[in-house]
Structure 1
Amino acid sequence: MSGKSRMMAMGWKMLAVILVVVLSVTTFHSNDVQAQDVWGIMKEARKLDEQGKYAEAINKYKQTLPEFEQTKQYGNLAQMYRSIGDDYVKLVNFDLAVVNYDKEAEYSAKANQTQISIAAKRKADMLRSNAQLFIETNAETVGAANTHGARFEPKNGALLGAYAELDPKVHNAQNSKPFYSDAFPEMTGKKHAAYLLYFKYGDSFSKLKTHIEYARKNGTALEIGLQPLKGLSEVNDNDYLRMLAKDVAEAGIPIFLRFANEMNGDWVPWHNDGPKAYIEKFRLVSKVFHEEAPDNVVMVWAPDRLPDYNIQDYYPGDDAVDWVGVSLYTIFNPSTDPLKQGEDRSSHVEKFDQIYKLYAARKPVFISEGGVAYMYPEKKQDKTDWAVYKTKEFYASLPMLYPRVKAVFWFDSNHDSTNRIKYYMLSANQKLLDAYKTSISNPFYLSSIGDESPIAYKPINNQSVGASVQKVSAYVKTWSATLSKVVYEIGGKPVAAVAQLPWTASINFAPYKGKKIDIVIKAYNQNKLITTQKVSVTVK
């Protein structure tokens, strides 16, 4: 290569280096300016918020999203979505608020801000509106689709149960006059299939003699909460455990043995032993009872609904568990109201969702104890109307949403735990008692082991429906704590209006034979339209 050529080549190389440097500086400067603009835009958005110009503030916040997304600043991104969601709440556009709170939950999780993500998801769920439609049908058309073939499990329907030993209206422990299995059905208007009792590990089974006798007399089962109050170390395969299992077998009545329940919560002494020890002891107890009482005992594994992050850590295995239960309580709590209006917008029935999704395909599941409190204990405020609605919604919706629920136990007591009284006692609140009586009158709820529900429910969202008169019911979830009316429309015309849960109406689908139609559901509270939802169906 000539000297001139070498010089030219060196010149080009130097020019290339200069260009790289210039471009690098330019790019850095551009990003720096862009970053400065992002914080400036955020400042402008905050100022617009202070002025009440929420729509304009939303547009400003949205301008920051691409930069935070590109640079993977997920914490800042989550904050922007939260601000957008909050502004949509102020504009009373809850559907768009939900979209942004869901995004906040997504990106705060990516930023490892777990608690913020959980709170954002909770906000979104409380404001989320949706509707699901169901057709009431003969249970024979469903067949065995909702059964596992487990002992004592109804093919369709849920056994009614209760804990009633502490309700003085229905039980006198001194003279058994009245006795709960006699008086509780009289008070509620329907025979219950089973009753919950608590039994301390180490005690003699003879302490339950009277309960066993009344269970035999009234044809009821018992759910026995076997509690190792001294910790799991006292549970061993020894003479005591073997004799206890033989005594249970000799009792001859159906028994749901719920060993060391709510193990996932730190309020029970056996929680401190940890998941590994718990699983070991549960499997041991299950083995002994399956050997000594194979005909009349089923082993129940029953965590509390909360905390939910560690529930699966305690599962002992399908071979050791016959039924899965859960403690499911709702006490009025306005602290999480995303609208800050002092309401509890949570859904009692949807609190069952996680356990159902985890285990209903494998085992019969049930609410082993639970209820809705009629008082806000911290403020001593009466919340009867709210509790009545939540109770009716729960019992009306459960058969539709969770058809593999096979038993439901109400905790009929006003008990004091850690100085916080829980108000579930039906005899102490006539409105709640009336709501319970109305709710359990549904034939889906069964009075004896061996009974079967004559009815079942089929979802029809995006499904087909017969071209005839059909009994349609709905589960409608909205941001409103309660609803008072649901109107059904087809083709822009009202076809039914209902004022009682579960919003059941007889609708004639014959005029729409062979068509795909939209059923519009309009939900109201005190004549205020809360949400409009649409469900598509094909009419056969």
Structure 2
Amino acid sequence: MHKVRSKIIYPLAMAILMVLSAVPTPSAFASDTDIWSEQVLAAKYFDNREYEKAFNTWLKIVSIHEAATGQSSPFLKILSIREQLTPMNYAIYLEKIGNYYAGIYGDFSTDSELAVEYYDKSHYAYIEAKQSVYAVKVKDKANDLRVDIRLFYEKKAANSSISNALYVPKYGAYIGMYAEPDLRLTSGGYVDTDLFSSTFGRDLGILLCYSTFGVSKFPTIQAELLEGKNMGFQIAMEPMLGLDSVVDNEYIRTWAKDAKASGLPIYLRFACEMNGDWVPWYGDPEKYKQKFRLIHDIMAEEAPNVMMLWSPNDIPFSTMLSYYPGDKYVDWIGVSSYATPDGNNRVSLSNMNVNPIEKLEFIYQAFVGRKPIMIAEGAPSYYNSYFPDVDFNDWYGNNLEKVYHYLPRIFPGIKGITYFNASPGINKYELEDNKAASELYSQMIASPYYISKLNSSSPIYYEEIKDQLLKKEAIKLSTYAYIYDPFIGKVEYYLDRKLIATSTAMPFELNYDFTNYKAPIAKLRIKVYDSNNQLASEKTFNLSFYSTYESIVTMKINDPYLYKNNEKIKIEQNANTTPIIIDSRTYIPARALIENLGGTIAWEEKSKTVTLKYNNSTLVLTADSKTALLDGELINIKTPLTIRNGRTYLPVRFFADTMGVALVWDSKQQKLTLSY
């Protein structure tokens, strides 16, 4: 047995082959247009290995298309439809631009951030083109380069009780399980929730069972065992004979009346995973929606305690929404989400390198704030029969922890997680057969964020550190890091450049008491290491505290005045110099800002270099350079210093984050506030 620890990386040649196999074809209507000529020219450059010329032509093609379709600006939709690409071609050109920035065509101008940006755009364009396979492949490319570090802090919830018809907790997520195959949890052939409690140390919030439409009666005996438990009952009703078998008849009316008689809150998951070709009710979205609405209407008449749970699979997502029956007919959104080494025999859509959190992004963004969401069933697998000699236990644990630790932080709109405690085929998820997996599951649901009672809410929740002010008190912080390696070795925390903690386990927590911290802003630097203990990425966060600022400076875009503690001051006496926006980035006149903050600034004309001294730090910037010196240490910057009309402009976000100034941006008023 050997353990799987690192990512399985496809050979570069294979990646290039997959890209080249999807060669753009001209739009049928574009044969005599400039965009067609540019496509022919780009293909010629590419065939001749003149990659830089091909790259510049791809940029031009994309620019023409985006102008024609109004994507760059609704006011630029001035070109004819003949200047547009097909959605597929648009996605391919975006991917090719990403390939160029990633260095696949040679190390010309490698820029990982821009590669990720274009790969992400290509991903969504492939979705629009209904090409799920290509969408997943290009997302994988982006993720191989993506670096994301996010910081969260734990907050206490003010009120832990709820009261609403759909039992949606304000904070927290219900503990759910399909438990019937686990003999530790059953008695007389039925799930005994007391056995769940004694096995895992927490009460169960939602029990899942399955029902075949037209055959299975309402599970009355199991329902009776749940009476008085203050928990939910999820029933997956599956029309195994296809959608034509779903009709309004005595069977479904009796089922609904028995459901009402149970008195339980029931989540009816009718015909789930309809977007997958492995179910008999796949393939006809219009008929599916008609049948879902029929079941909804019957339940509304016969069983008002039944909530309709619409629940696709997380992949493929390109056709998912075409099956949505409408807000009127859906109470909850569910999703089946599994992490398996073989992608459930669909490696083109999902594989062992896919982050289980990321697979939920599409459905989450489609419905968050609109409907309550739950993982209706899912789990990572710890065994796969295609690889019988491979030990996937570390991989299983890594994925289970990602889901249970980070869903509360990244996707707080997900209000329940139902673990699929069974092993029906190629993959094994069943906890009874794996002591380590069972113990880890117990640890995951031990968090107070996970709740068992329907009329309750979590006593805690998480908020991401952004621009908000914090109290000077003991704070529990945690880090989410996305790097090229799915296994993170450790996370280090540096406060004011001093190492204060190292964490080697998710969610990489730091408990620190800031009560006696003197400065108004704490510079917290986070370093993330891969499974080989090599530094993968780092990021500095400014923790800004309440009631510690002596002065406030506000400025507005295109306003030649700044306001320091409400005093109106001309930014430049003999000119109308104002803050400006360049490529969606906010820049401010450097000298006016630094001097009003109480710092000093010096300009060296020959080298186009400015030296800023503020808050016991020295920052040296050179115009148009993406590197700078901070107290003698070389650092990288995304937005360089720029010169406009003979004036030196400073990227305000970079300055604030680097020099310990609290910054709040009001996009509506285009106003920035700096506190120090």
What TM-score bracket applies, with the shorter chain setting the length? 0.7 to 0.9
Distance 1:188 1:317, change over 3 A: same
Task: Check conservation: 1:101, 1:120, Cα contact below 8 A.
Answer: no
Single out whichever of 509-518 and 397-406 deviates more from structure 2.
Answer: 509-518
User: Could you tell me the percent identity over the aligned residues?
Assistant: 30
Distance 1:218 1:109, change over 3 A: closer
Give the C-alpha shift of residue 101 in structure 1: 4.9
Match of 2:118 in 1: 103
Match of 2:6 in 1: none
Deviations 1:152-188 (A, max 9, x none): 222211111100112234336xx33x84433333222
Match of 2:505 in 1: 500
Match of 1:275 among 285, 289, 297: 285
TM-score by length of 1: 0.78
Match of 2:332 in 1: 323
Report matched runs for 1:13-162 at 5 Å.
38=45, 42=49, 61-62=51-52, 64-70=54-60, 78-79=95-96, 81-82=98-99, 84-85=101-102, 96-97=111-112, 99-104=114-119, 106=121, 114=131, 115-116=133-134, 118-140=136-158, 149-162=164-177
Match of 1:55 in 2: none
Q: Distance in 2 between matches of 1:350 and 1:204?
A: 36
Q: Which amino acid aligns with 1:164?
A: A
Give the C-alpha shift of residue 85 in structure 1: 1.8
Deviations 1:59-86 (A, max 9, x none): xx44642244346697578446425525
Larger radius of gyration: 1
Task: Check conservation: 1:520, 1:533, Cα contact below 8 A.
Answer: yes
Q: Distance in 2 between matches of 1:437 and 1:477?
A: 25
2:508 match: secondary structure:
coil
Distance 1:308 1:405, change over 3 A: same
Match of 2:299 in 1: 289
Q: Which amino acid aligns with 2:339?
A: T
Q: Distance in 1 between matches of 2:125 and 2:415?
A: 38
Give the C-alpha shift of residue 190 in structure 1: 1.4
Report matched runs for 1:229-240 at 5 Å.
229-240=240-251
Match of 1:379 among 375, 387, 390: 387
Give the C-alpha shift of residue 476 in structure 1: 1.4
Task: Check conservation: 2:123, 2:139, Cα contact below 8 A.
Answer: no
Give the C-alpha shift of residue 344 in structure 1: 3.5
Task: Check conservation: 2:356, 2:399, Cα contact below 8 A.
Answer: yes
Runs of 5+ in structure 1 lacking a partner?
A: 1-30, 44-60
The reply to whether residue 225 of structure 1 matches residue 236 of structure 2 is: yes
Give the C-alpha shift of residue 491 in structure 1: 2.2
Aligned-pair Cα RMSD in Å: 3.4
Q: Distance in 1 between matches of 2:124 and 2:328?
A: 35
Task: Check conservation: 1:88, 1:96, Cα contact below 8 A.
Answer: no
Distance 1:352 1:513, change over 3 A: farther
1:398 match: secondary structure:
helix
Report matched runs for 1:113-512 at 5 Å.
114=131, 115-116=133-134, 118-140=136-158, 149-171=164-186, 175-176=188-189, 179-203=191-215, 205=217, 208-216=219-227, 218-272=229-283, 274-294=284-304, 296-333=305-342, 344-380=352-388, 381-416=390-425, 421-510=426-515
Q: Distance in 2 between matches of 1:77 and 1:407?
A: 36
Give the C-alpha shift of residue 492 in structure 1: 1.4
Match of 1:9 in 2: none
Count of matched residue positions in the alignment of Structure 1 and Structure 2:
472
Task: Check conservation: 1:98, 1:125, Cα contact below 8 A.
Answer: no
Give the C-alpha shift of residue 108 in structure 1: 8.9
Q: Which amino acid aligns with 1:165?
A: E
Distance 1:357 1:107, change over 3 A: closer
Task: Check conservation: 2:116, 2:145, Cα contact below 8 A.
Answer: no
Match of 1:19 in 2: none
Larger helix percent = 1
Task: Check conservation: 1:235, 1:281, Cα contact below 8 A.
Answer: yes
Q: Which has the higher contact order (CA 8 A, sep 6+)?
A: 1
Task: Check conservation: 2:43, 2:54, Cα contact below 8 A.
Answer: no
Give the C-alpha shift of residue 130 in structure 1: 0.8
The reply to whether residue 539 of structure 1 matches residue 548 of structure 2 is: no
2:167 match: secondary structure:
coil
Deviations 1:400-435 (A, max 9, x none): 11112111100001112xxxx121111111221121
Q: Distance in 2 between matches of 1:370 and 1:337?
A: 17
Deviations 1:316-350 (A, max 9, x none): 11111111100010002499999xxxx93321122
Give the C-alpha shift of residue 90 in structure 1: 10
Single out whichever of 434-443 and 67-76 deviates more from structure 2.
Answer: 67-76
Larger strand percent = 2
Deviations 1:206-254 (A, max 9, x none): 5x23212221265543110111111222222333222211110001122
Give the C-alpha shift of residue 262 in structure 1: 0.8
2:511 match: secondary structure:
strand
Q: Distance in 2 between matches of 1:118 and 1:452?
A: 36
Distance 1:245 1:190, change over 3 A: same
